[in-house]
Structure 1
Amino acid sequence: MRLDRFLSETTGMSRKEATRTLHRSEITINGDVVKKGAVHVPEDAVVEWNGTTLTLLGPTYIMFHKPVGCICANDDLSHVTVFSYLDLPNPEKFHTVGRLDLDTSGLLFVTNDGQWSHRITSPKHACEKVYRAQVSEPLLPEHVEAFKQGLKLHGEVALTQPAHLEIISAHEALVTLTEGRYHQVRRMFAAVGNKVETLHRESIGGVQLDTDLEPGEFRDLTAAEVAQLAG
């Protein structure tokens, strides 16, 4: 990899900024000052910027406990974003794996691996997602069958895929989906005459939200979790 590209990948600086930094003799490779951006960076080289070691970030997989009130976007002028909580180099290279709306909390993955995230979000893989919903009206046994048979959502023609509704109490349920339509859980409850008051995603593909993570906190996924989600 060229040195100027390496600097861009590791620091987020533009190629023009990288060139200026090099001309100021701020970059060393294995202790030697290098001023040319076209220089190749060996795989095992130690690159430093004013004494700070720069490291290329490989495929990265993050578990994030999304709080209510932040949105799944890299930038937004009106709301706090998921990436406001994450200390990532070059955040523009990362994306959320699917989305949770502003008023929904819970498990969210963030990655720079597009193939891995596609495996999770692609409808053909039917990755299960489990949500805990608090609703305004009492839950009824017939709702379980309605979710299982599929529901017609407002403005759509095709019924939802079969979903599992587990009633926990009169106003609380777990919903397991294998698809991800816009505001789907809220719209499914609306289709049976109910309203979601709070919604929290607990798991994706069998990987549970770490109970040690408070809202707004994150950690790297383990190798086993990454592999499990890759199928």
Structure 2
Amino acid sequence: MRLDKYICRCTELTRSDAKKYLKRGAVLVNDELIKDPGHQVYEESKVTLAGNLLSFASARYIMLHKPADCICSNVDELYPSVLHLVEVDRAFDLHIAGRLDADTTGLVLITDDGQWSHKITSPKKACNKRYRVQLSKPIREDAAQLFEQGVQLQNEPKLTRPAKLEVLSEQEVLLTISEGKYHQVKRMFAAIGNRVVGLHREQIGDIELDQELDLGQWRYLTEEEVNSIG
């Protein structure tokens, strides 16, 4: 982790304030004077700020049941950020591990552990995500086979990775994908001549949305849930 970010995690300082302390020569790492904000430090590093030993705060792992009309971003835009819903200290220091569109509901994972988040979002990790999808018209009979083979999205050079489709009714399906292209689920159904009218994420990896959480509610992940992302 960058030293300036480490200082922010351990204190109430902003990134700008942390850099001012570094510039003044007020920070030691393992008893060595460090002024570089990008200097890499670790949980076990001994960091002192103006003579005070800093204590590294444990990473936070949160599950949110995202409602519609909010966005997975650290800044408000046309819609407010989902981080307004997470009532913790310095919520906007957290980041969202795998985004959802403003009109999409369901499971969102939020953390300040960058390596853990990377395991979810990196294309190389192929972390599965399961969605419940409502469609504008009946699903075609060969849809599952097409998704298993991969479909061609507009303006994409390659087919999508194999995806699993489970038909619940003529116009409701479960879709599991292992990548996260822009608007991918909507574009996949558009590619086979259908339109998504409702989209809800139920699962990321082995972590399922807690059915006890109403829209807009959140909880910390259990240790087992955190460790399931590997």
* Global fold match (TM > 0.5): yes
TM interval, short-chain normalised: 0.7 to 0.9
CA deviation after TM superposition for structure 1 residue 93, in Å: 2.5
Q: Does the 8 A contact of 2:9 with 2:57 survive in 1?
A: no
Per-residue deviation, 1:119: 0.9
Residue identity opposite 2:120 in structure 1: I
Task: Give the match for residue 47 of structure 1.
Answer: none
Superposition TM-score, scaled by structure 1 size? 0.79
Question: Larger C-alpha radius of gyration, 1 or 2?
Answer: 1
In the other structure, the counterpart of 1:111 is 111
Partner of 1:171: 171
How far apart are 1:6 and its partner, in Å?
6.1
> What's the TM-score, normalizing by structure 2?
0.79
Change (3 A) 1:116 1:148: same
Deviations 1:48-96, CA, capped at 9 Å, x for gaps: xxxxxxxx63211000111111001111242111111112323342100
1:22 matched residue in structure 2: none
- Paired position in structure 1 for 2:199: 199
Partner of 1:52: none
**Cα distance, 1:122–1:93 mapped onto 2, change above 3 Å:** same
Question: How far 1:124 moved relative to its partner?
Answer: 1.6
Q: Which amino acid aligns with 2:127?
A: C
C-alpha separation in 2, matches of 1:148 and 1:8: 43
Q: Alpha carbons of 1:11 and 1:138: their partners in 2 closer, same or farther (altered >3 Å)?
A: same
Provide the aligned length of Structure 1 versus Structure 2: 197
Task: Give the secondary structure class of the aligned counterpart of 1:190.
Answer: helix
Structure 2's unaligned 5+ residue stretches are 1-5, 22-48
User: 1:135 deviation in Å?
Assistant: 0.2
Partner of 1:39: 51
Mapped pair 1:120 → 2:132: no
Q: 2 CA distance for matches of 1:88 and 1:12?
A: 16
Query: How much has 1:196 moved relative to structure 2?
Result: 0.3
AA of the residue aligned to 2:52: H
- Change beyond 3 A, Cα 1:59–1:7: closer
CA RMSD of aligned residues (A): 2.3
CA distance in 1, matches of 2:130, 2:9: 39
Aligned mates of 2:169, 2:95 — CA distance in 1: 36
Deviation at 1:42, TM superposition (A): 6.4
Q: CA deviation at 1:7?
A: 7.8
Q: Which residue of 1 aligns with 2:31?
A: none
User: Contact (CA 8 Å) 1:72, 1:82: kept in 2 or not?
Assistant: yes
Letter of the 2:208 partner, please give it. Answer: Q
SS at match of 2:101: coil
Is the alpha carbon distance of 1:158 and 1:211 closer, same or farther for their aligned partners in structure 2, counting shifts above 3 Å?
same
Matches within 5 A, 1:136-215: 136-215=136-215
Q: Distance in 1 between matches of 2:205 and 2:97?
A: 12
SS in 1 for 2:154: coil
* Equivalent position amino acid for 1:147 in 2: F
Q: Cα deviations across residues 136-171 of structure 1 (Å, max 9, x unaligned)?
A: 010122111111110100111210000011100010
* Letter of the 2:17 counterpart: R
Distance 2:100 2:142 in 1: 27
Which amino acid in the other structure matches residue 15 of structure 1?
Answer: D
Contact 2:83 2:92 in 1 (8 A): no
